[in-house]
Structure formats: C-alpha cells, structure tokens
Amino acid sequence: MDYVITFSDVMAGLMSIGLGVITFFAKKWFDKMEKKDDVLQSAIENTTSTLNKKIEQGNKEIQEKIQKNDEKVNERIDKLEEKTVKMNFYAGTQCGFKTNDSGGGSLGAGFIVLN
C-alpha cells in the first residue's frame, strides 16, 4: 500500500506550525508588555519622588514664611508692649502716682500703684 498525503494531513501540519508561530509572537508581545509595565512603573516612581521633593520644598518655603511672619508679629507685639509700658509709666508720673517698676509682687511691672 502506498501512503497518500491527503489534504487533511497537510492542514494538520500547517495548523500545528501556525499555532507554534502564533504562540511565539504572543509570548514576545507579552514580554514587551511586561517590559513596558516595568518602564511605566519606574516612570511613575520617578514622577512620584520628584513630586514628593517639590512638595517638601514647598512645605519648607511655607514654614520659612510662617516663621518670618511670626517673628515680625512678635516684634510688633514687643514694640506695642514697650509703648504700653511707657504710656502707663508716663500717665502714672503725670498724675502724681508711683509705678511698680520692680516687676515683683501681685502687680506686674509698669502698673500704676496708688500711694
């Protein structure tokens, strides 16, 4: 008996070769996707770290501005306190009162004390 190659034999061989080729290219495609995912993940990490650095820098700048403003406010408060003490002292001496400049006792410094 002679063996005759039929159409179904040829198609079975071509199908197995075709599936092998498709599998080969599908694997390559998935490998590329994984590499793209790794690249994308590293880009996201770089962007996140850059943003965190900028946020920290912005926070430092804000803290510095707040600190400068606090110092200015404290200076203004100190000046107002000095003016108030001077005004109390001046008012007390003009009215013939003595002031408590010692800072001790129940009265604070600069308050008018009656004789």
Cα radius of gyration (the chain): 44
Task: Please say if the pLDDT value at position 94 is more than 60.
Answer: no
Q: What are phi and psi of 2, to 5 degrees?
A: -90, 145
pLDDT one-digit tens code per residue, 52-74 = 999 999 899 999 999 999 999 99
Question: The pTM is what?
Answer: 0.39
Measured CA angle at 32 (ends 28, 37), to 5 deg: 150
Q: What is the pLDDT of residue 108?
A: 47
Query: In one letter, which amino acid is 104?
Result: G
Q: What is the pLDDT of residue 85?
A: 72
